[in-house]
Amino acid sequence: MRLARQGNDEAYRRLLGHVSVWLRSVARRGLTSAGRGTADSEDIVQETLLAMHLKRDTWDETQPLEPWLRAIARHKLVDHLRRCGFRDHVDIDDFASSPEAAVDVDASVTIDTRRLLASLPERQRRIVEEISLEGRRAADVAARMGMNESAVRVSLHRALKALAALYRSDRR
Amino acid sequence: MKTDNLVEALVADRGSGGKSIPKVLAAALALGGLVSTALFFLDLDVPQDVAQAMATWRYDLATWRFDLKVGMVLLALVLAFRLCMELSRPFPPVRPVRRLLPLAMVAAVAVAIELTSFPSTAWATRLVGSNSLVCLVAIPMLALAPLAAVLWTLRSGAPASPALAGAAAGLLAAATGATLYAFHCIDDSPLFVVTWYVLATIPVVVLGAITGHRLLRW
C-alpha cells in the first residue's frame, strides 16, 4: 500500500490480488457462519475491494495495514448481511486471522456487478468496461472515445464511486 | 465482471485520492467559520440582539475569566477535531466520550473557582448572565456553515458508526461556533459558559448525528 501510494501500479495490483484472496475466505466463512450459502461471496469481495480502494485515505501510514483492512471487511460483511435481512452479531475476528486459506473461484463471475454496471451512465459504463474487461490504459480509452485523458480518469473515479453507492442501495 | 477485472479498474484509478483528511478538514472548518462570520455581517434576518452582540468585538485578554473562556472553547475545538478524525475511521470507537475528559476537568475546576469566589447568593446572577438567550441562538447559528463543511469533508471518511461520526462533526461545528461567539459574548463567568455553551451545543450535536447517520454511510 505504501508503494502504491508512491505511484507503483504493479505493487497496488499485487496488493489487491492478495487482499481479494483473503477477502474471499473471510466472506465465505462469514456467510457460512451466518447460515447462508456462499453464492454471494464474490459480490462481497468486490464490494469490499471497492470500499477499500475508495477509502484508502483513511488508512494511517504509520499504522499496520491489516487491522484497517479487517475493519473495512467487517463493516462490509455486516452491511451485506443486514441488507439480506440478517440481524445477528457477526464477529470476523474468529476467522479473519488465517489469510492463507485460499478458495478457488475462477469460475464465479458475478452477475451482480454486471447488473449494477448496466445502471451507470453510458459513458461511465463504457470507460469501466474498456479499462477492466478489455484491459486498456486510460490514455488509449481517451483516444478511442475522443476524450481528454484526465476526463477519462475523472469519469472512471466517478463511476467507481457510483458503483459503490449502487452496491449500498441494492437490496435483495 | 470478474474480480480481476475490477482490480484493473481500481489500479487505473490509483492516481485519485492521496488527500490528507485532517488537512482537508482543517481547511473546511476555516472556510465554514469564515462563511458563518460573513453571514452575520451581511445583515441577514438575524435577531437584532444577536446582531448587536456580534458587532461588538472583545479583546480584553487581560481578565482571567475571559482568558479562561477562550481557553475552554479552544480546548473544545482541538478535542472535537481529534475526536472527529478518530470517529471517521473504520475502527469501532472505544469510549469516544472519554476523549473530552480534559475539557470536563478544566470546566469543573473553573466552576469550582467561580463558586468559591462568589457568595452563594450571587451564583444565580452569574449563571443567568446578561444574554443567555442570545448565546443559545448565536452558537447554533454560527455552527451551521461549519457543520455543513465538516460533514461534507467526512464523506470521504469511513466511519464505523456514521451517527457517532456525525455527532462528533456537530460537536466540532458547535466548538467552532462557540469560539467565534466567545469573542463577542459579554458574559465570562465559567458558570455561564459551562451552562449555556453546553446547552447551545446539544442541538448541533443532535443535528450532526441525524444528518451523519444518513450522509456518512459507506
Position A102 scores a pLDDT of 47
For the cut 90, the answer to whether the pLDDT of residue B165 exceeds it is: yes
DSSP H or E segment with residue B215: helix B198-215
Give dist(CA A31, CA A39) in Å, integer. Answer: 9
User: Which value, in Å, is the radius of gyration of the alpha carbons in chain A?
Assistant: 17
Confidence bin at B177 (pLDDT 50/70/90): very high
Position B48 scores a pLDDT of 63
Q: Does A147 touch chain B (CB under 8 A)?
A: no
CB B215 within 8 Å of CB B177: no
Query: Residue A57: its chain B contacts at CB < 8 A?
Result: 17-21, 156
Position A156 scores a pLDDT of 87
Mean pLDDT of A17-26: 88
Give dist(CA B111, CA B103) in Å, integer. Answer: 12
For the cut 70, the answer to whether the pLDDT of residue B42 exceeds it is: no
Q: What percent of chain B has pLDDT over 90?
A: 45
For the cut 50, the answer to whether the pLDDT of residue A100 exceeds it is: no
pTM greater than 0.80: yes
Position B73 scores a pLDDT of 93
Q: What percent of chain B has pLDDT over 70?
A: 89
**Residue B111: Cβ within 10 Å count:** 16
In the numeric block, which cell numbers belong to residue B2? 470478474
Mean pLDDT of B39-61: 63
Position B44 scores a pLDDT of 52
Nearest 5°: CA angle at A54, between A52 and A60? Answer: 65
Cα–Cα distances in angstroms (integers) from residue B88 to residues A56, A58, B25, B75, B154, in the given order: 12, 8, 11, 20, 7
**Selected residue of B8, B10, B19 to mutate for chain A interface (largest A Cβ count, 10 A):** B10
List pLDDT tens digits, range A102-121: 444 544 555 566 777 888 88
Query: For residue A168, what is the nearest residue in chain B, using CA coordinates?
Result: B218
Which B-chain residues 150-179 have CB contacts (< 8 A) with chain A? 156-158, 160
Pick the closest to residue B164 from B107, B99, B113 (CA basis): B99
Mean pLDDT of B39-47: 62
Beta carbons of B17 and A57 less than 8 Å apart: yes
In the numeric block, which cell numbers belong to residue B99? 476523549
Query: For residue A125, what is the nearest residue in chain B, using CA coordinates?
Result: B9
Query: For residue A8, what is the nearest residue in chain B, using CA coordinates?
Result: B14
Position A2 scores a pLDDT of 67
pLDDT higher at A94 or B138: B138
For the cut 90, the answer to whether the pLDDT of residue B167 exceeds it is: yes
Query: Residue A58: its chain B contacts at CB < 8 A?
Result: 21, 88-90, 156-158
Give dist(CA B100, CA B104) in Å, integer. Answer: 7
**Range in A46-50, A92-96, B133-137, B200-204 with the lowest mean pLDDT:** A92-96
Could you report the predicted ipTM of this complex, rounded to two decimals?
A: 0.77
Enumerate helices (H) and strands (E) in chain B, giving the number of each. 10, 0
